[in-house]
Amino acid sequence: MKLGIIGTGKIVVEALGAMEPLHEIKRNAIFARPHSRAKGEALAAQYAIPGVYTDYEKLLAEADIDTVYIGLINSVHYSYARKALEHDKNVILEKPFTGTYEEAQELFDFGREKGLFVFEAITVLHSDVIEKMRACLPKIGKIRMMLSNYSQYSSRYDRYLSGEVDPSFDLKKMGGALRDINVYNLHYAVDLFGEPLKSQYFPNTGFNGIDTSGTMILEYDGFSAVCTGAKDSDSPCFVQIQGEKGYMRIDGKPNAASNLTIVITEEGKPVPDASGAMVRPSKKEEFTAESVYHRLTGEFKDFARIIDRKDYAKAERYASETLGVMKIIECI
């Protein structure tokens, strides 16, 4: 994969570091807006990227690339991705994918029409943990509840409280807790259970109307998935799936899950616990994912493999999930 890097922000810096051990990816160009040219040049020097551009059209026309990774603010995701597809480039687009479901569907349709790959860069789908969850889901019986929480006090929240609005807290730039961090919880739900029957968002809003935190409730046949995300407060993060025969739980931030506890009930006589409840006997399994160089490394390795092998079936599965999540986000 011959890659063009679009942007110079925090996520791009992380992504460049995450790609370091991936020899199958050639980072051949980087785009920076004119006022960020110095930062682009510094990143190019650090990671031996031969081309630095401040003109996006010129990069797409001249750089030796077949794919772009777009790590810009949410509000320009669609326009930059569309332009890349017009120039016959595969697209890796940071989460949240686009502003609307219609935009997302259009990008996937256009990419399919041209034989190109279009991906959402969402770490959840590229981990050993989610694969283990899929495999173990039947073991916990009929699903009765999903509870998830990704709460992380934003490094930009104090500035927001003082009246300084960064893109991540700007409605016009499609910021907010749902799109920024709760989106990970939504991906667990859609990956494991498909699209919900109904969805409703209960946000806590700031002075400009942005959701600084909130809870999305997804209604499925026989159970609900409760997905909470916060940029204005902290608490332990987790993802928990409860069934009639057991449960699964991730402890830690959903975007970098490395562990999974699986508890399955067994035959035997229930015994009382300290609260007086009767507790069924159970067996616990602890699963730890294989260590990775960086939390983003797995997704880029997967994208390179899919593009190089032209694995359209795998790409379609990812596209279907992204569209499912976009339908939910659009309900707000």
Mean pLDDT (the chain) is 95
Residues 182 and 137 in one domain: yes
What is the per-residue pLDDT for 329?
94
Residues 108 and 138 in one domain: no
DSSP classification of residue 4: E
- Report which of residues 279 and 148 the model is more confident about: 148
What is the per-residue pLDDT for 275?
84
- Please return the burial class of 55, using the count of CB atoms within 10 Å of its CB with bins 0-12, 13-18 and 19+: exposed
Q: Is residue 319 part of a domain?
A: no
Q: What percent of the chain has pLDDT over 70?
A: 100
Q: What is the pLDDT of residues 150-181, one digit of tens each?
A: 999 999 999 999 999 999 999 999 999 999 99
Cβ proximity of 81 and 60 under 8 Å: no
Residues 249 and 271 in one domain: yes
CA–CA distance, 113 with 302 (Å, rounded to integer): 22
Residues 115 and 144 in one domain: no
What is the per-residue pLDDT for 189?
98
What is the per-residue pLDDT for 276?
78
Cis peptide before 96 (omega within 30 of 0): yes
Q: What is the pLDDT of residues 70-83, one digit of tens each?
A: 999 999 999 999 99
Q: Is residue 105 part of a domain?
A: yes
CA–CA distance, 259 with 129 (Å, rounded to integer): 7
Residues 307 and 198 in one domain: no
Q: Is residue 108 part of a domain?
A: yes
What is the per-residue pLDDT for 278?
74
Q: Is residue 324 part of a domain?
A: no
The domain total for the chain is: 2
Q: What is the pLDDT of residues 194-221, one digit of tens each?
A: 999 999 999 999 999 999 999 999 999 9
Cβ proximity of 182 and 216 under 8 Å: yes
Q: Tokens standing for 6?
A: 């679009």
Handedness of CA 79, 85, 89, 92 (dihedral sign): positive
Residue 42: alpha-carbon gap to chain centroid: 27
Q: Is residue 242 part of a domain?
A: yes
String of DSSP letters for 55-81:
-HHHHHHHSS-SEEEE-S-GGGHHHHH
Residues 175 and 274 in one domain: yes
For position 276, which CATH number holds? 3.30.360.10
Q: What is the pLDDT of residues 7-61, one digit of tens each?
A: 999 999 999 999 999 999 999 999 999 999 999 999 999 999 999 999 999 999 9
CA–CA distance, 89 with 68 (Å, rounded to integer): 7
What is the per-residue pLDDT for 282?
83
Number of H helices and E strands in the chain, helices first, is 11, 16
What is the per-residue pLDDT for 281?
75
pLDDT over 90 at 229, yes or no: yes
Average pLDDT over residues 94-118: 96
Q: What is the pLDDT of residues 264-322, one digit of tens each?
A: 998 888 888 888 787 887 899 999 999 899 999 999 999 999 999 999 999 999 999 99
Q: Is residue 321 part of a domain?
A: no
What is the per-residue pLDDT for 315?
97
Host domain of residue 252 = 128-288
Q: Which of 88-97, 126-135, 214-223, 272-281 has the lowest mean pLDDT?
A: 272-281
Residues 91 and 151 in one domain: no
Q: Is residue 25 part of a domain?
A: yes
pLDDT over 80 at 107, yes or no: yes
